[in-house]
Amino acid sequence: GFHGSTAQSAHVEQVRRATRAAAVSSAQYDTDEIAVRNPGLGLEALKEKKRQEDLERAARRETARLKRQGEERKKEQEDEDALAECERQARQDVEVTKDGPEGGRVKYEGALIVRIAVHFGTAGVWTKIAEARSRGADIPLDPKRIYLLAHPDKCRLAEASDATAILNAQRPPEMVEASTKPTGRPSRPEEYPVTPAVAVPSRSARDVVASSLPTAAATEAGSAAEKRKDPDDGVLRTFAEIKELYKGTYSDEELEAYWRDDCTPIPKYNRRRG
């Protein structure tokens, strides 16, 4: 033991007690740091507080999720209402021009494409055209035919030029993801992108006849005086007239594919009669 004065003995004992107290305090800090920093709160109370904070965070996340869902549903409803308004305007366009001259009449599908393009712009035009097709509009799957329906030469609406520019500014999804070209349609894949094989209508008799024609009969390789029926309006035109009508809107390669694959040749016996 320690041998000294009473005062010295008391000092040594005080140091020992302080050392033991410090050791106990350090052990508590290591086992429960939160309890040391929050005196007056027991461990169970701290666990309950943490559980409540987790619940509050989860509730805030759920509120934010529901808010996003509500905004998305609101946007979907607004888009649906806007598409219905485009359909109404297109019907009105047809009604207004139905008694006009033949060249001034407006087709419903062409007017609908124009109204959709002008309202939704480049960001949503092709998606909304597909939605309009699913709602019953007789809009073709081929993007080239869609361009033609909205072209100012075919659709006599003041907004047709703007609509054509919007359609040309954004490539349609069907043209971005080209799939394998079916057999029996002899043309280069890069000239005629194929739409996905979803909801593709059966081939008509005209398509079957056109697919059996030799490739050499396409474009200017044939007779310069040869006329074919333009499927857009049923008018007989030479390839030179097709190029002149649609120049500036389509490339030469697209017009060659249109002439070869879509324009209907005149049967030979009809040519002899003419």
Axis crossing angle, helix 108-134 with helix 143-150, rounded to the nearest 10:
140
Closest by CA to 112, choosing from 150, 166, 79, is 150
Number of independent structural domains in the chain:
2
Is 252 within a domain? yes
For residue 234, the enclosing domain spans 230-265
38: pLDDT strictly greater than 60? no
The pLDDT tens digits for 216-238 are: 444 444 467 889 988 877 889 99
Assess if residue 202 is contained within a domain. no
Share of the chain above pLDDT 70, in %: 68
Among 124, 142, 171, the domain-final residue is 171
Residue 249 lies in a domain: yes
Looking at the structure, tell me whether residues 157 and 63 fall in a common domain.
Answer: yes
Q: Among 148, 171, 194, where does a domain finish?
A: 171
Beta bridge partners of 264: 229
Instruction: Identify whether residues 162 and 48 lie together within a single domain.
Output: yes
- Tell me whether residue 205 is in a domain: no
Residues 132 and 239 in one domain: no
Residues 133 and 243 in one domain: no
pLDDT, tens digit, 9 for 90 and up, residues 143-197:
889 999 999 988 889 899 999 999 988 777 754 433 333 443 433 334 434 333 3
**What DSSP string runs through the chain?**
---S-HHHHHHHHHHHHHHHHHHHHHHHHHH-HHHHHSTT--HHHHHHHHHHHHHHHHHHHHHHHHHHHHHHHHHHHHHHHHHHHHHHHHHHHHHHHTTS-GGG---HHHHHHHHHHHHHHHHHHHHHHHHHHHTT----SSHHHHHHHHSTTT---TTHHHHHHHHHHS--HHHHS--PPPTT--S-TTTSPPPPSSSPPPPPHHHHHHHTS-GGGSGGGS-TT-EEE-TTT--EEEHHHHHHHHBTTB-HHHHHHHHHHTSEEPPHHHHHH-
pTM, whole model, 2 decimals? 0.45
Task: Confirm whether 37 is domain-assigned.
Answer: no
Residue 212 lies in a domain: no
- The total of other beta-carbon atoms located within 10 Å of residue 245's CB is 19
